[in-house]
Structure 1
Amino acid sequence: MNRHPWRALAAALAAGALVPAAASASPPVSWTGVPSANPKVTGASPANVLSPELSETAVAWGSLSLDGATSAVPYYGYDGFTAPTVLTQAINEAHKTEPDKNTYLVLPGGQPGADPNYDYGTHFLYQGHESGTPGAITRINLDADQAHRVTLLSTNVSAIDGSTWDPFAQRLLFTTENSSQGTYAATLGYPAQVTDISGAVGRGGYEGIQADSAGNLWIVEDVGGSAGSPSTHAKQPNSFVYRFVPDHPSDLSQGRLEALQVISNRSGDPIAFHAGQAEADITSPDTRDLHTPGEEFRTRWVTLHDTGTDGTTPFSANALAKAAKATPFKRPENGVFEPGDHFQRFFFTETGDTNSLTEAGAAYGGFGSLQELFQRDPSASTGRLRVVWQGDVAHTGLDNIAFVSRHQAAVVEDAGDGLHTQRNALDSAYLLDVTEDQPAPVRFLAEGRDPSATFDAEHSGHGNEGDNEITGIHVSDGDPTIAGLLGVKVPTLFSGGWRMFWTQQHGDNNTYEVSPAP
């Protein structure tokens, strides 16, 4: 049930002719829930289990040789420095690149690759790689044969986490979780020309990145905090939500970085980070309120850095956010706008502590959440925040998010090996109806564990990454124009060109397209 008057206001504001026609014509998806997660059993490699209405096909896999390969990065999922290079299920296997967040584009003019005589088609899936040495940007050529299926676009980057397409700047954007490394803008062509824009947008533990209809960039940060005492299994909120406002949307080298500040319902003061007070922040009444369904908060944006006055030397966004009394969260991973709503509602996931023993529990965000920020327009200076959904030990570690219909968000777990063992359950992906308070999650994917990940989880070695995790969930029709910006159109999944992808990171590093079951 919708109990939020500002949500009703937003619906009224959006009721005019500006609402895309698909907003009223697109029905919700209806998928049968998978009853349970796959258990974590020593030596076992269970298959992925999808809702019976769905199927999946691998569009790329770790051992696939790259078009334009280098000696350092010869394969989609493996680096090339190990000698001998063993690609799977061996202690001395090659170091894995870990393809991460996906971005789908349809480019009618096509794109070049390493082979000047080959037609690479018009449908492309871009991704950065989270663990590569060096980092890498690749492009899956969905129309191409196996020899030309994945093109290596650049290794002039550090390890990558988030990605998106900015139609205003005509650049692919890539974030890195390493707060000492850059944030990148890359051209589409081959090879990609990469620019570090962290002198404007800053550096942090950046993950999700998303453009809005005004050309602003919304960035969420995943930085773990200090453990408490006596709450030794819980972590201090230590990550922030940012908005970059460029001076001109087509130029990302100049502008203003802001951070979200939430106002306490108790004191009227900003809910802020307190250095050296991990336990107090973990167990504060404000932290509890932020994760209590039914609570709503006033928000405002505070300026951290402006290139007009502060220059373009790369800077720590996290440090400036703390100094400005922005509000820390429990490891946000990704954020997107609800489609067909004029970019008024931004939803972001919190991972939480990924430990079943967390003393924070569900009440204090220990198992993460899905948060909703409402503003009258994407450039507004104030808004309202509420928790849509509070995680529990069986549904936690939320990572990527994508809308599959007007109000249904697909959210995926990255709970980690330790929590997999604690709860005897591998990761899952869920549908959540964001119009409801504490919606019941519908599991549409119970992730399995491929043989490589099973081997990795039970042996130590420099290239081993443990259990599989779900990443890169992405739903798009690939429209590269401003009118096709994610959040403008309401998805009509599996029709009208709308497609769905995800990556089973670690192990064999397969990237899948999800389709209707035959």
Structure 2
Amino acid sequence: MRRDAVIGAVLAGWLSLGATSAIGQGLTPVPKANPKVTGVSVPNVLSVELADVIRAQGSMVLENPRDWAAFYGYNNDRPNLLPALGSTAEATKTEPDKNTYLVLHGQRGADPSYDYGTYFLFQGHENGAGGKGYITRINLDADVAHRVTLMATKDDLGNPLPAFDGSTWYPWAQRLLFTREAGANGGVWQATLDVPSKVEDVSGVFGRGGYEGIQADSDGNLWIVEDVGGARGTVNNNALRPNSFIYRFVPYDKSDLKSGGGKLQVLGIKSKRHLGNIVFNTSDTADTAILSLDVRDLHTYGLAFNTEWITIHDTAVSGTTTPFDTNALAKAQGGTPFKRPENGMFRPGTHFREFFFTETADTNANTQAGSEFGGFGGLFKLSQRRPSDNTGTLTLFFLGDVDHTSFDNLAFWTEDLLVAVEDRGDSLHAQHNALDSAWMFDVRLDFSHPSNQPIRILAQGRDPSATIDSALLGTTGFQNDGDNEITGLHVSDGDPSPNGILGAKTPRPFNGSWRVFYTQQHGDNVTYEIVPNPHVTEAVGDDDDRGRRDRN
């Protein structure tokens, strides 16, 4: 019996559980977040119908180690993957970040005699000794010795790669794209699929900004979400000034982003209170911006804002080789800032007419902004008649609160179900005594009604390594992060054609070729695949499916 038929029947059975779980396609809600308890490790808790399987972990040796890049989740800059008793000395953790899943044929690796299969997961690494990053490929069909391939540590000019955050596949140019979230030192890099990969800095085209999320639409435009924290207020010292922007890159030649160039645009939002866009002048204090009535309006249910795309850089005028400060240009030319929007995703089934994005906001339980002024973040929806249109409408989809806060990455589980993960950070974990969660939203619901609530499908735990690191955080000589963080779910069938870009097809997790991945950053740096829980139901696949799972 085919795997997709069995699991489809299983999901139909789950849907009969009742209205409470209907929002989650029959997934049982996880009742509460895991607590943050000093010195105590806790496991991840998924909806009971789900399980996660390790596909790679930080201690795995790369099949082709090089210099300081020897492990999937650790540099070999220090001798210990875990600090010795009484010591803070520990190898730098690389924090594998956003995943990109592709089904490819004929891929090679470091071993010319080995068959690497057809299922691959690509990721950049968000951290590294001396700020150096690298790109890896998880070979999902491979044995442990060949499981993770190092693709590149340097660009085509011999420069060390920076630490990367976001990633996506751009099929028209046959390139992986990676973003760097580092303010005016950030940018976009493109990489070929071969090993070793040719990696090029294309920031002369895209500019240098605190880029994180990056997604293509059906016209080949790239939508980029920036994460640059703003200044704290003097009075409102637990809140941040809005300081990050939403960008769209419109290429002249989709087959060659570097040489072809294009226009970089910033999103501007029309104010309800005055003529022109919502902007903050350089003379405005952080306190003025934090408690601006415009900011309150943006975080108010039921208001719809007219939007426009403003061209801030054009390579036809300025060329393709000189990087530029995108954040500064966005401010100067009328872009509307948000409070750390980190990622965005197109809703499947809308022909790229609906773009949802997150806002992480202040990550402080004592923010003076509160929910009213976006202190706990939220989720927004940008609607356009066509993806290349220059005007549209912005609405608040979900307003963050104390229990649902600090939204980071997101993914569509189905056409109507959206999963957003939190990135509260150690301080907010301690303030709330709660680790991060992944929340599932039905985008057909009106969340201004208190009776409509998302469901928790994952309560992030804390592995033993992260528990040790959390206790060492802030001590002299310790350079790693503490509690674990969810990179965000990646739901894909791996189609490498333009028809396979995220948002082009309706996701069908566990049906046919659709797969779900996430990485638990920090600590042990583990990349998981989410699968149906075999202890809840026997999801028997056909021979090909079983063989693939056995090899993995």
Which structure has greater helix proportion?
A: 2
Secondary structure (helix, strand or coil) at the match of 2:90 reads: coil
Point out the more displaced range, 295-304 or 458-467.
458-467
Distance 1:463 1:270 in 2: 41
Decide whether the 8 Å contact of 2:181 with 2:187 is kept in 1: no
- Alpha-carbon deviation of 1:204? 0.6
Distance 2:136 2:502 in 1: 21
Secondary structure (helix, strand or coil) at the match of 1:31 reads: coil
Distance 1:408 1:421 in 2: 30
Decide whether the 8 Å contact of 2:187 with 2:206 is kept in 1: no
1:434 aligns with 2:443: yes
Distance 1:476 1:110 in 2: 20
Distance 2:172 2:221 in 1: 10
What residue number does 2:269 align with?
Answer: 262
Amino acid at match of 2:92: H
Distance 1:484 1:502 in 2: 19
Point out the more displaced range, 175-184 or 291-300.
175-184
What residue number does 2:378 align with?
Answer: 369
Q: What's the TM-score, normalizing by structure 1?
A: 0.93
Decide whether the 8 Å contact of 2:103 with 2:495 is kept in 1: yes
- Alpha-carbon deviation of 1:95? 0.5
1:88 aligns with 2:82: yes
Amino acid at match of 2:453: A
- Alpha-carbon deviation of 1:273? 2.6
Decide whether the 8 Å contact of 1:373 with 1:385 is kept in 2: yes
What residue number does 1:454 align with?
Answer: 467
Distance 2:350 2:340 in 1: 26
Decide whether the 8 Å contact of 1:163 with 1:208 is kept in 2: yes
- Alpha-carbon deviation of 1:29? 2.2
| Residues 195-214 of structure 1 aligned to structure 2 (within 5 Å) | 195-214=200-219
For residues 286-314 of structure 1, give each alpha carbon's deviation from its aligned partner in whole angstroms, at most 9, with x where no partner exists: 10010111111000000110000012200
Decide whether the 8 Å contact of 1:233 with 1:357 is kept in 2: yes
Match of 1:50 among 46, 51, 56: 46
For residues 312-343 of structure 1, give each alpha carbon's deviation from its aligned partner in whole angstroms, at most 9, with x where no partner exists: 20011100000011000010110010011100
1:329 aligns with 2:338: yes
What residue number does 2:533 align with?
Answer: 517
Secondary structure (helix, strand or coil) at the match of 1:458 reads: helix
- Alpha-carbon deviation of 1:89? 4.4
| Residues 74-473 of structure 1 aligned to structure 2 (within 5 Å) | 74-82=70-78, 85-90=79-84, 91-107=88-104, 109-133=105-129, 134-156=132-154, 157-179=161-183, 180-253=185-258, 254-276=261-283, 277-312=285-320, 313-438=322-447, 439-459=452-472, 460=475, 461-473=477-489
Decide whether the 8 Å contact of 2:420 with 2:488 is kept in 1: no
For residues 88-129 of structure 1, give each alpha carbon's deviation from its aligned partner in whole angstroms, at most 9, with x where no partner exists: 24421101101000000001x231111111111100000000
Distance 2:126 2:280 in 1: 28
Secondary structure (helix, strand or coil) at the match of 2:145 reads: helix
Distance 2:304 2:83 in 1: 49
Unaligned 5+ runs, structure 2: 1-7, 16-23, 155-160, 535-552
Distance 2:480 2:329 in 1: 36
- Alpha-carbon deviation of 1:71? 2.2
Distance 2:344 2:141 in 1: 29
Coordinate RMSD, CA, aligned: 1.5
What residue number does 1:484 align with?
Answer: 500
Amino acid at match of 1:102: N
Identity over aligned pairs, percent: 58
For residues 329-366 of structure 1, give each alpha carbon's deviation from its aligned partner in whole angstroms, at most 9, with x where no partner exists: 01011001001110000000000100000000011110
- Alpha-carbon deviation of 1:464? 2.6
Amino acid at match of 1:58: I
| Residues 9-88 of structure 1 aligned to structure 2 (within 5 Å) | 29-82=25-78, 85-88=79-82
Distance 1:472 1:166 in 2: 20
Distance 1:328 1:351 in 2: 13
- Alpha-carbon deviation of 1:233? 0.5
Secondary structure (helix, strand or coil) at the match of 1:69 reads: strand
Q: What's the TM-score, normalizing by structure 2?
A: 0.87
Consecutive aligned runs of 4 or more in structure 1 exceeding 6 Å deviation: 25-28
What residue number does 1:9 align with?
Answer: none
Decide whether the 8 Å contact of 2:187 with 2:211 is kept in 1: no
Decide whether the 8 Å contact of 2:225 with 2:247 is kept in 1: yes
Distance 1:486 1:223 in 2: 25
- Alpha-carbon deviation of 1:80? 1.3
Distance 2:478 2:108 in 1: 35
Aligned length: 492
Decide whether the 8 Å contact of 1:71 with 1:81 is kept in 2: no
Decide whether the 8 Å contact of 1:89 with 1:452 is kept in 2: no
Secondary structure (helix, strand or coil) at the match of 1:406 reads: coil
Decide whether the 8 Å contact of 2:421 with 2:488 is kept in 1: no
Unaligned 5+ runs, structure 1: 1-21
Secondary structure (helix, strand or coil) at the match of 1:309 reads: helix
- Alpha-carbon deviation of 1:399? 0.8
Distance 2:234 2:446 in 1: 32
Decide whether the 8 Å contact of 1:158 with 1:182 is kept in 2: no
Amino acid at match of 1:142: L
- Alpha-carbon deviation of 1:398? 0.7
